[in-house]
A and B are shown apart, each in its own frame.
Chain A
Amino acid sequence: MTKEEFLKLDDAGKLSFLNSEAATKDFAQISAEIGMTKAELGKIGFYYVGNKFLLKPMKGYGTTERSGNEYKDRFK
């Protein structure tokens, strides 16, 4: 999967893809495959811990995308 294809997935899709890859590959291989570094993945909320990927639900300020933490974004 290319970086562009990966970034088009929603968060659940991204997590599912990363963990399906993590079942057979190490982080370096996955990172090379999608062309994203650990830092870049961290900025969009994905972290590699204990041979699997985890998603931080509270998006932070790593990117310019709205973090979604504004009340009206989350609690209608």
Chain B
Amino acid sequence: MEKEWKKQQPDGTITVRTCGWSPPGDHPVGCGMKLHIKDGKLVKVEGDPEHPISQGRLCVRCLTLPEYVHHPQRIIYPMKRVGKRGEDKWQRISWDEAMDIICDKIRHYTDNYGAESIIVFGGTGREACLYYYPLAFSSIGTPNCCYPLSGWSCYGPRCSITDYILGAGYPEIDFAGYYPDRYDNPNYKLPEYIVIWGKNPLMSNPDGFYGHSIIDMMKRGTKIICVDPRIHWLGTRAEHVLQLRPGTDTALALGLLNVIINEDLYDHEFVEKWTYGFEELKERVQEYPPEKVAEITWVPKEQIIEVARIIGTAKPCPIQWGLAVDENPNGVQLGHAILALIAITGNLDVPGGITIGPPAALMGKWRMETRSQLPDELWAKRIGAEEWPALSTAMATTHPDETLDTLETGKPYKLRMGWFNSTNFISATCSAQPDRWYRALQSLEFNVVQDTFMTPTAMAFADIFLPLPTFAEHDGVVLTHFGRNAIFMGAMNKAFEVGECKSDIEVCIELGKRLHPEHWPWDTAEEFFNDQLKPEFGFDFNDLREKGVFQPPYEYKKYEKGLLRFDGEPGFNTVTGMVELCSTLFEAWGEDPLPYYQEPHYSPYSTPELFKEYPFILTTGARAFTSFHSEHRQVPSLREITPDPIVEINPEAAEKLGIKDGDWVYLENMFGKCKQKVKLTKTINPKVVHASHGWWYPEKPAEEPSLFGVWESNINTLIPHKHIGKLGFGAPFKCLICKVYKAED
């Protein structure tokens, strides 16, 4: 890429090259773009054709960034509440005053009740979750950092399962992202097939995978298989869509393993040399013959067999896993089974297969290591750590569901102060039963909220509001997969300022210097990034700006070369040194060491009586191009494209209910109800409905009880708290039941 990252154009416009991060929902892929600034204002965003991954392409969320950054409702100065909570009464204050108030409160709670009485809630983050860990551990000094998603049901389960089973970083399909010349690199092999399992990468651009790479590969000949209850755009162009009943994915994975093993389609050499527990797995999958799996999943037996044969014989045939693994109480077993499929078919760490990051993260794990600045006895008070050893080993957070219990009961101790780092979780983003969280959070005595807009969560709880910048307004480092499989690293360059916003790391530094200066030697974000980059890569932040993007070299078959184990021996960095098809750790934690299928908590088969009253299977949360979870509802161009929360219903089912396209309906079950607008589509099974998440209405009254209409279309009120898996992961966001009826009001 060109060395010059900032240019003045003849008309006085400044053009700044940068890589995106959230907001506006480029999470955290680092798409390349050029920001055009005139008279201090962002006037235009366009894709950067030099960026080796996104190659000039951008989605509508980045293209509408000018509307977002200069939106009249954006909060761009620190504020303190001057009315009661829930009232829209605020006073602008300086950063100094805000920090004085906050530090006094932190000292008060720490001195009188212990630092554990303070909790940091982290959302997507403006820098994709990197800095709320050090904010908690190192700036504030509390062990309680909470990602308030029931069952930690996003990404964390996949990383944890990989840690337990492979002892490696995140498994991602090989889209030649490591190579400047991409698919033409001689080391690369184009996948013959890609299985996309419970994921819609075009819309979600998830975590380190640039979604349109799928299309790049399709143009070169790769064929697609989708596993999804919905037929999305990629599904319409796939060779197969396994349109399964929501929540039955693990049965399907075990059925595929059954065929591949019984028809001897697996990679014998890999299995013999590099796996542990194959015979036990072989015995287990006999319980899942295709005909039984077809009954469970509603996927035809013949299709299961045909797809299994493709996975067993196509070379390479990577499987890309998505939220279907996380948002399912049976998801740990699903992740285990998918990794087994990838491993025994010889698709692990091979060109065009599944790449795996080294077990040690590039840069990214610094944030968790800041917990070493806490005393042991304080770390031991982390909420849920004792009760959920598997989760608390792999995640440096509290257990999210235990955290709600603690807020409700005051046990094992009372939480008194909350810090909400860019999380709007009383809207339908992550928390299950957000109405319950809403009531429980009332018990917090003092709260700080960092965000870009006034949200329902901020309106309900903030005592101090700290404004966050967008990625276009601060310096940073984009790191795909949070360093767990750093396919590339990019520079995020500050192009202009809006108001007095401060980034996550700037707030960490400023607060840390006041409360724990021994941990915060850096004065600026750039100094911090220099210190992170230089020892590991030999270049500093300014060098990264000039490079634009850094693609670290990649080694395939690391397990053969001693590049995965810390002792330098060949193998995997697991307890047995092998891919654990039979998990020693699961057994130690009291879980079945082999994958197994568990029927969803509520379904036509597990709760047939309830299903008579709630006769639809409810799946939620598919992504849209125009929003990132609860964000962007106030951006006019995006709202014009997607004005309302949409529930997808098959026309056949709708006709029986007298429901037409465009009608507003209630979705209701044992836990709650909400209202969404009907879209009729044959891409969903007549027995299944899909509802949108993340909806609130910035145009509706801000104050209580409305809170921007947060409860009207809040699908998470139908999702029960603590219906999680045995190891603490997974929640039924994608496998519940409900009824649907026309809204007459």
Please determine whether B163 and A58 come into contact, CB atoms closer than 8 angstroms: yes
User: Would A49 and B588 be within 8 Å (CB), given that A63-B376, A72-B535, A75-B360 are in contact?
Assistant: yes
* Residue contact B389 to A54, C-beta cutoff 8 Å: no
Cross-chain contact A71 with B358 (CB below 8 angstroms): yes
Closest to A74 in B: B360
Asked whether, in the complex, the Cβ of B376 is within 8 Å of the Cβ of A39, the reply is: no
B102 within 8 A of A: no
Query: A20 near B: Cβ within 8 Å?
Result: no
Given the known interface contacts A63-B379, A70-B360, the answer about A42 and B588 at a Cβ–Cβ threshold of 8 Å is: yes
Whole-angstrom CA separation of A50 from B586 in the bound complex:
12
A61 interfacial by beta-carbon distance below 8 Å: yes
Contacts of A31-76 to chain B: CB distance below 8 A: 39, 42-43, 47-50, 54-58, 60-75
- Interface code B366-380, partner A: CB below 8 Å = 1, 0 otherwise? 101101111110010
| CB–CB B360/A69 < 8 A | yes
- CB interface residues, A 11-25, toward B, < 8 Å: none
Interface residues of B in 434-454 (CB under 8 A from A): none
Kindly provide the distance from the CB of A75 to the nearest chain B CB, expressed in whole angstroms.
Answer: 6
A42-B389, A47-B584, A69-B360 known; A61 vs B163 contact (CB < 8 Å): no
Q: How far is the CB of A46 from chain B (nearest CB, A)?
A: 9
Given B372, B483, B566, B576, which contacts A74 in the complex, CB threshold below 8 Å? B566
**Contact among A42, A48, A58, A74 with B167 in the assembled complex (CB-CB below 8 Å):** A58
B661 contacts the other chain (CB 8 A): no
The answer to whether A67 and B358 have CB atoms under 8 Å apart is no
Instruction: Determine which of B358, B368, B483, B589 lies in contact with A61 in the assembled complex, contact meaning CB atoms within 8 Å.
Output: B368
Cross-chain contact B375 with A64 (CB below 8 angstroms): yes
Asked whether, in the complex, the Cβ of B566 is within 8 Å of the Cβ of A68, the reply is yes
CB contacts (< 8 Å) of B535 on chain A: these are 72
Q: Mark B501-530, 1 if CB is under 8 A from A, else 0.
A: 000000000000000000000000000000
Q: In the complex, what residues of B have CB within 8 A of residue A64's CB?
A: 371-376, 379
Give the docked Cα–Cα distance between A38 and B379 (Å).
18
CB distance A67 to B368 under 8 Å?
yes
Are A67 and B365 interface neighbours, CB within 8 A? yes
B361 close to chain A: CB less than 8 A = yes
Within 8 A of A (CB), among B379-396: 379, 385-386, 389, 392-396
Binary contact readout B19-38 vs A (1 if CB under 8 angstroms, 0 otherwise): 00000000000000000000
Which of the residues B372, B536, B567 comes within 8 Å of A65, measured between beta carbons?
Answer: B372
A70 and B575 in contact (CB under 8 A), knowing A39-B389, A42-B393, A63-B379?
no
In the complex, chain A residues whose CB is within 8 Å of the CB of B394: 60-61
Chain B stretch 570-614: residues in CB contact (< 8 A) with chain A: 573-576, 584-585, 587-589
Complex CA distance for A13 and B588, rounded to whole angstroms: 21
Chain A interface size, as a band, is 20 to 34
Interface residues of B in 324-383 (CB under 8 A from A): 358-363, 365-366, 368-369, 371-376, 379
In the complex, what distance in Å separates the CA atom of A27 from the CA atom of B394? 24
Please, how many angstroms separate the alpha-carbon atoms of A70 and B535 in the complex?
12
Residues on the B chain within 8 Å of A61, using CB = 368, 371, 392-396
Closest to A60 in B: B393
Complex Cα distance, B575 from A72, in Å, reads 22
Judging by beta carbons under 8 Å apart, are B393 and A75 in contact? no
**Residue from B366, B374, B575 having most chain A Cβ neighbours under 10 A:** B575
Cβ-neighbour of A70 out of B167, B369, B371 (below 8 A): B369
Complex Cα distance, B395 from A22, in Å, reads 30
What sequence of 0s and 1s flags, for each residue 93-117 of chain B, a beta carbon within 8 Å of any chain A beta carbon?
A: 0000000000000000000000000
> Considering the chains assembled together, what is the distance between the CA atoms of A46 and B348 in angstroms?
27
Partner of A49, one of B372, B375, B573, B584: B584
Q: Which residue of A lies closest to B394 (CB)?
A: A60
Q: Which residues of A contact B567 (CB under 8 A)?
A: 57
Q: How far is the CA of A62 from the CA of B366 in the complex (A)?
A: 16
- Looking across the interface, which residue of chain B has its beta carbon closest to that of A65? B372
Residue B359 contacts which of A39, A42, A69 (CB distance < 8 angstroms)?
A69
Please name the residue on chain A nearest to B397 by beta carbon: A61
Chain B residues whose C-beta falls within 8 Å of the C-beta of A39 in the assembled complex:
386, 389
Question: How many Å lie between the Cα of A39 and that of B362 in the bound state?
Answer: 30
B residues in contact with A62, CB < 8 Å: 385, 389, 392-393
Q: How far is the CA of A62 from the CA of B536 in the complex (A)?
A: 26
- Flag if B366 contacts A70 (CB, 8 Å): yes
- B565 interface residue per 8 A CB criterion: yes
**B536:A72 contact, CB within 8 angstroms:** yes
Residues in B with CB closer than 8 Å to A48 are 588
Asked, given contacts A64-B372, A64-B376, whether A74 binds B359 with beta carbons under 8 Å apart, the answer is: yes
With A49-B584, A61-B394, A72-B536 known as contacts, the answer to whether A54 contacts B371 (CB < 8 A) is: no
User: Quick one: closest A residue to B166, CB to CB?
Assistant: A58
Taking CB atoms, residues of chain B closer than 8 Å to A56 are: 393, 574-575, 585
Q: How far is the CA of A39 from the CA of B163 in the complex (A)?
A: 19
Report Cα–Cα, A11/B715, bound state, in Å: 48
A23 to B399, CA, bound (A): 36
Q: How far is the CA of A60 from the CA of B396 in the complex (A)?
A: 8
> Is A71 within 8 A of B566, CB to CB?
no
Closest approach, in angstroms, between the C-beta of B443 and any C-beta of chain A? 27
| Complex contacts, B576 vs chain A, CB 8 Å | 54
B368 touching A47, Cβ below 8 Å: no
8 additional A-B residue pairs with CB within 8 Å, beyond A57-B167, A63-B379: A47-B584, A54-B588, A58-B359, A61-B394, A64-B372, A70-B361, A73-B360, A74-B359
Kindly list the 5 A-B residue pairs having the minimum CB-CB distance in the complex, ordered from nearest.
A60-B393, A47-B588, A61-B396, A74-B360, A71-B360
Instruction: Provide 8 A-B residue pairs closer than 8 Å at the C-beta atoms, listed in order of the A residue.
Output: A49-B588, A54-B584, A57-B566, A58-B163, A61-B395, A62-B392, A63-B379, A64-B371
* Chain A contact residues, CB within 8 Å of chain B: 39, 42-43, 47-50, 54-58, 60-75
